[in-house]
Copies of this chain bind each other. A is one copy, B any other.
């Protein structure tokens, strides 16, 4: 299964930059693309993950799996993000045992969203 790592490329994270200087989100995106991207991981830059108070942010998702959003990242976290994404890819249901998650994934979760499951007869539970 291919899993997707969305990376907010517009996160400024409060930095004050000179003209033409890349924002933190763009630097994180570049660092991820330059890293050891594991097989089965697709990295996709996106303009905003609406986590602007907690940037830079990334989101991991795949069909039928929980999605995870992490924030307060920097380009120095790129290698750990790729390791965590590989573990997510390799876990049969995308749920990685707590101890196998990179520390940044344990400490910097912004949210997770359950997989989309077809509606039931009794809609509200």
Contacts and interface: CB of A to CB of B under 8 A. Distances in A.
Contacts of A111: 49-51, 54, 57, 59, 69, 71, 110-111
B45 A125 contact: yes
**Chain copies in complex:** 2
Nearest to A4: B116
A79 interface: no
Interface of A: 2, 4, 6, 33, 37, 41-46, 48-51, 54, 57, 59, 61-63, 67-69, 71, 109-114, 116-117, 119-120, 123-125
A37 B82 CA distance: 40
B124 A61 contact: no
Nearest to A45: B125
